[in-house]
Structure 1
Amino acid sequence: MKNELDTKKLLRVFDKIRKHGESKKNEQKGTVHFLEGLTAYTDFDGYTVFIEDATVSLSFGFHNQYHFEYEDSSQLSNFEKKIDNIDERF
Structure 2
Amino acid sequence: MTNILLTNADLLLTMDSARRELVHGALLIEENVITWVGTQETMPPLDDDTTRYDMRGKLVMPGMVNTHHHFYQTLTRVIPAAQDAVLFDWLKTLYP
TM-score by length of 1: 0.28
Return the structure number with greater relative CO, CA threshold 8 A, min gap 6: 2
TM-score by length of 2: 0.27
Greater C-alpha radius of gyration: 2
Normalized per residue, which structure has more helix? 1
